[in-house]
């Protein structure tokens, strides 16, 4: 048994190593990552896989959506590549959930339980002050403002320690994947891949950028040469333009999250309390970190991946739309709408 724990945070959760039930299911005779066989001509055929997993955070009540997401990912990509799946939940997964997930894939599948008592904010947080902050955001009609949300500090989770890369295959995929994005990340030495980028709601992060600037002033050595500051700021870092990568879709290198720069950055932000008294989320925190602490050429916009997480979607605009048998409407793509930060990202390389 491996057992691990994620402490509930306001959008970001610390991991505490505890005893947490882990179930791994490997179908007898199944094709395991890196072994084959695969259809001749598919990019996954005849070579080892990257050290990677498909990761889903789900409750038992999410069964219908999880079935849809896994079916789409298997049909569009993983039936050819057989990457393992990892599922994390705050409760024990039901036999119904486990049975449905394992019948949808030939890959190995792991299930981890996160104890409920570790999903709450730490004792040092002033709950009256935190509640006042949530109430203020409710008055501003900010979505989910009344809850104490979380996002797992999953890269320290024992269930994932054997892996370097992860892909969160959440919600809807519109296009076939004619290549292995994990292998692409590995071969091109990328650390972070995304499909959607837009502006954060400023009322949720009023003091985040001032904290970022304070961290940079204390630790300038963490700034990468040729970083993507121009994506985050229009005035050389004096102010934050609110651009971030939407973390509902991420393909990323967990070695970066586990590294010294990000760990120091996260610990610094944690001490500021903004995850609790404001609503600092994993999306702006991840985005700021990869944009500042890695060279900009380590970031990748997956233009050829059709993806939707309501209310936004990215639909390929080039010949990829037809070649990859995409089922999305090009006109619905967020890329060139006023709230999109894609033009800012692309100007980094022009």
Residue 105 backbone phi and psi in degrees, to 5: -140, 150
On the question of a cis peptide bond just before residue 312, with omega within 30 degrees of 0, the verdict is no
Q: Which of 283, 328, 286 is nearest to 304 (CA)?
A: 328
β-pair type (192-194, 299-301): parallel
326 contacts 320 by C-beta, under 8 angstroms: yes
148 contacts 8 by C-beta, under 8 angstroms: yes
Q: Which of 90, 250, 278, 313 is catalytic?
A: 250
Cβ contacts of 45 within 8 Å, gap of 6 or more: 36, 37, 38, 39, 80
Determine the Cα–Cα distance for residues 2 and 159; give it in Å rounded to an integer.
7
239 contacts 161 by C-beta, under 8 angstroms: no
Determine the Cα–Cα distance for residues 16 and 7; give it in Å rounded to an integer.
7
- The kind and range of the H/E element at 211 are helix 208-218
Burial class (CB in 10 A: 0-12, 13-18, 19+), 308: buried
Crossing angle for the helix pair 95-103 and 63-73, nearest 10 degrees?
Answer: 10
Residue 202 falls in the annotated catalytic set = no
Encode 258-281 in three state secondary structure: CCHHHHHHHHHHHHHCHHHHCCCC
Q: Active-site residue numbers?
A: 250
């Amino acid at each position: 048994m491996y057992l691990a724990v994620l402490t509930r945070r306001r959008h970001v959760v610390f991991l505490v190593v505890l005893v947490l039930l882990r179930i791994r299911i490997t179908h007898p005779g199944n094709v395991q990552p890196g072994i084959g066989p695969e259809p001749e001509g598919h990019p996954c055929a005849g070579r080892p896989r990257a050290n990677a997993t498909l990761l889903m955070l789900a409750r038992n009540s999410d069964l219908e959506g999880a079935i849809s997401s896994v079916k789409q990912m298997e049909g569009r990509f993983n039936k050819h590549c057989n990457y393992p799946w990892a599922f994390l939940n705050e409760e024990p997964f039901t036999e119904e959930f486990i049975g449905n997930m394992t019948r949808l894939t030939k890959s190995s599948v792991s299930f981890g339980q996160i104890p409920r008592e570790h999903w709450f904010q730490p004792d040092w947080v002033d709950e009256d002050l935190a509640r006042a902050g949530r109430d203020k955001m409710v008055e501003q009609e900010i979505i989910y403002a009344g809850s104490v949300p979380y996002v797992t500090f999953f890269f320290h989770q024992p269930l994932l320690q054997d892996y370097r890369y992860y892909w969160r295959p959440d919600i809807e995929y519109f296009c076939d994947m004619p290549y292995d994005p994990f292998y692409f990340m590995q071969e091109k030495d990328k650390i972070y891949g995304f499909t959607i980028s837009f502006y954060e709601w400023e009322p949720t992060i009023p003091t985040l950028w001032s904290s970022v600037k304070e961290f940079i002033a204390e630790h300038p050595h963490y700034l990468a040469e040729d970083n993507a500051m121009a994506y985050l700021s229009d005035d050389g870092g004096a102010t934050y333009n609110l651009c971030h990568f939407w973390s509902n879709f991420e393909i990323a290198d967990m070695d970066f999250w586990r590294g010294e720069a990000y760990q120091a950055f996260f610990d610094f932000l944690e001490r500021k309390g903004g995850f609790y008294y404001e609503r600092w989320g994993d999306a702006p925190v991840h985005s700021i970190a990869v944009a500042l602490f890695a060279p900009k050429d380590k970031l990748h916009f997956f233009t050829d991946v059709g993806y939707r997480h309501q209310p936004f979607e990215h639909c390929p605009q080039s010949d990829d739309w037809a070649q990859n048998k995409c089922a999305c409407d090009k006109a619905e793509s967020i890329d060139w709408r006023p709230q999109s930060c894609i033009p800012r990202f692309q100007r980094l390389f022009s």
